[in-house]
Structure 1
Amino acid sequence: MESLSITSGLPDDYVTHRFTSLSRLNIEAERVLDRLSENGDAGNHFRLMFDGTTALIKIVPSHPHGFATSRLRDNIFAALLAGTSMDDILWGANATHRPTVAANRGKEADDCFIPPIRQAGQNQPQRWPSLVIGTGVSESLTRLRQDARWWFENSEGAVRTVILLSIKRTRRTILLEKWQLSPPGQHVTPQQALRIQQMTIPPMSPLGLQ
């Protein structure tokens, strides 16, 4: 299986900036943050991934991105409420997760679920979620699949399920892919270590797809 790179699977039009000093990086980072913050809470949100000296900023393109993520989260939440205390349900939103506290790489999810047994106490490091949601436009589906592998590999199997939502804006549909690790103890090849289920969600006006 091909090794993961922070730039694996990116769309053809991604932009790269190189910096030779921290001072220049600080200046450009402030400019990027200003541009992303121009619309306040109305849009231009982003997710961050970093590996060593390289960082990847994923721009959240529009409201449908957030609506699709929250709609899926709400449906999972409703299912979990059956016989479960609300105090036991914790969504990690886009918190940054690292393999170790001192690791020089990490990643933000669009949303994630942390079961009660993994919920960190006060002043404790962030623990891995069991379920991660990744959302993007259809052009970035290859990258979303690379992200799913990142969660499985860097959590060493602590992340058990990754659900990908690929928004097809022209067709007003969403492709849902459920990636899951094979059961522990089952003998599989590396190519079979991940199982996938796929379905297409038909147009749904509440998602606000334009």
Structure 2
Amino acid sequence: MAEVFGNEAEPFGFRVSVSRRKEAISESPSWDSESHPVLSGSADPRTPFTKLLGLIPGEDKLRFSTAVNLAERIKERIEQCLNSSSGSYVAVTGVAEGALAHIDQAFCKQGIRSSARFTYEGPLDSLIIRLMPGVPHDLISRSFFYQVGRKIDSFPGLVGTWFPLGSGEFEAHGRRKKQGDEAIKPATRSLETDWPSLVIEVGYSKSLQKLRFDAEWWLKYSAGQTRMVIIIKIKCNPNAIRLECWEMYRDPARRV
């Protein structure tokens, strides 16, 4: 974990390592069906946002009208997620950048803002809302964050050298914005706009590929500042979690 705070690596490619609970493999063979992620290469012209958008079914795509109406509809989706112990991605088109503040306020008034994570794509005037309500998500994301923090502090000289960023929003070039579940940055990055070096994203079953595109977003648009993204997939019945650690790496086969 200490290398997350080292010198910035050149973003030549993506690499992933995987960790799973043993019982998840033995009790549910289908769990392993997503074990070979497709790495993103420069030949793919799609952005992480459009890749993610392509995985969202039609019934989860909405057209923006007003912030109040959107908040009411998302609140209904959140209640459905709570009843089924699951999460959801909802795509909203026709969202001008100026409407984001109104959407944020409407979500706060409905008491659902903490259950939603926003990814905004300005060139498309589109918003993807990741809904992760309920105790399992909060328990996993927060407890794993504490474990990471304790691990960092266990290295000599690293106590007090990092800041927690929670689900703060970060803006990339091209009017792109995103929130994660948890994030950490070195104390040497003192500006409010400085990106995290480590991001944690948590999702329920059936969201693994979407989480991978979330990870790609951070690595692609942070200009090398985000060194690692840990994605965690929660599965119920049987209870299990799957972790993948995504990072940039130098690819000697690619020339710059």
TM bin (shorter chain): 0.7 to 0.9
Secondary structure of the equivalent of 1:178?
strand
**Structure with more helix by fraction:** 2
Mean Cα displacement is larger for which, 86-95 or 7-16?
7-16
What does residue range 129-144 of structure 1 map to in structure 2 within 5 Å?
A: 129-144=196-211
How far residue 66 of structure 1 moved from its aligned partner, in angstroms, is: 1.1
Normalised TM-score (structure 2)? 0.61
State the match for 2:66 in structure 1. Answer: 25
- AA matched with 2:208: L
**Cα pair distance change 1:14/1:128, threshold 3 Å:** farther
Q: TM-score, normalised by structure 1?
A: 0.73
Task: Kindly indicate whether residue 118 of structure 2 is the aligned counterpart of residue 75 of structure 1.
Answer: no
1:187 matched residue in structure 2:
252
After the TM superposition, which residues 1-210 of structure 1 pair with which residues of structure 2 at under 5 Å, given as runs? 1=41, 2=44, 3-9=46-52, 10-12=55-57, 15-19=60-64, 24-32=65-73, 40=111, 45-52=115-122, 53-82=125-154, 83-84=156-157, 87-100=160-173, 103-120=174-191, 125-183=192-250, 186-189=251-254
- Cα 1:39–1:117 change in 2 (3 A) is same
Corresponding residue SS for 1:118: coil
Q: How many residues align?
A: 177
Write the distance in 2 (CA, Å) between the matches of 1:17 and 1:40: 21
Name the structure, 1 or 2, with higher relative contact order (CA <8 Å, separation 6+): 2
CA distance 1:39–1:106, shift in 2 (3 Å): closer
Distance in 2 (alpha carbons) for counterparts of 1:5 and 1:179 = 14
Structure 1 residues 12, 130: closer, same or farther in 2, change over 3 A?
same
Residue identity over aligned pairs, in percent, reads: 24
CA separation in 2, counterparts of 1:25 and 1:6?
Answer: 23
Q: Distance in 2 between matches of 1:146 and 1:14?
A: 20
User: Any conservation in 2 of the 1:11–1:139 contact (CA below 8 Å)?
Assistant: no
Q: Judging changes above 3 Å, is the alpha-carbon distance between structure 1 residues 16 and 116 closer, same or farther for their aligned structure 2 residues?
A: same
- How far residue 89 of structure 1 moved from its aligned partner, in angstroms, is 2.6
